[in-house]
Chain A
Amino acid sequence: MDKLSQYLARDVAIAKALAYSGVALVVSLVIAQGFLMGFIPPPSPNLSAEELAQIFIDRKIGIRIGTMIECIGFTFWGTWAISIVVCMRRMERGIPVLSYASIANAGGAWVFFLLMPITWAMIAFRPESMDPKFIQIMNDYVWFIFILSWPPFALFMIFIATAIFRDHNVPTIYPRWVAFFNLWCAVLITPAALIEFVKTGPFAYDGLISFWFIYIVFFGWIVVMSMVTVKALNRVAARAAVTS
């Protein structure tokens, strides 16, 4: 093995660690938001302000610890996304338009992720002395940030799919079904836009479609992409070893 491919092997190892960080994100979400905060599923948007404030008073210690963990876990969005962009860069020749667009997109989307636990942590900081109406608005804000911010994420999925369709490598770095999987996810998270209109039922932000279905699709997408990206990176390393 020459020096260059040794270098590349180490780069690939780092990129694989970044790809696995997506799994860490999902695990921290389940632990922090599910067990510690009890926000899977969310409190109903139909609750009165007083009922909601009581939830934050009762669970404030769990929410403080949970948000702390989630701040760390959600940071991995950026690292995980870059592991995919690294593969996209190798699919594009000429001007790497989709790679650049994805980097900007992933960096912007990262802000939405971190705003969620930070806002919750602020509510749990002094929930007893805060006006319940204010707690209600801030809690709505968290869920709106999370669910209504679907377009940049859908766009990232479309970028990935486009890059795979245009991949010049033989065989392609990702299998082609990954492209369709991403398009499918992009279509499936669109009903998220409906949470603005309703407070109960399947399209409310705690509903069967807008919460459960979209949550499972979105975080399932992160886990699936982690797995296929690790495999793709292995192929990149193997191919480089052969050509050098």
Chain B
Amino acid sequence: MKALLLTRTTLIWFLLVGATLVSWELGHGVGLDSAAAAGAAILLVTFVKVRFVVLDFMELRGAPNWMRAIAEGWIVLCCALLIGLFLVAR
């Protein structure tokens, strides 16, 4: 039981909860002055979380290279697309 609790998975869970709280604060005007920077930062943190979920929970870290490349490529493209679309609105 202890061996199952003290795992990388648990560490990732703490990281994800921490990142959620950081983006929560950013969404409430803490940290960055401009709303544009805060929004972009929230989206960036979001896709860092997505990357952890994909690589560690979905276990793509140990998957074949081509599969991991597609996943990482999607994460980068989707993140860039959304931040771009978000900043256009300003």
Chain A in direct contact with chain B (Cβ < 8 angstroms): no
Residues of A within 8 A of B (CB): none
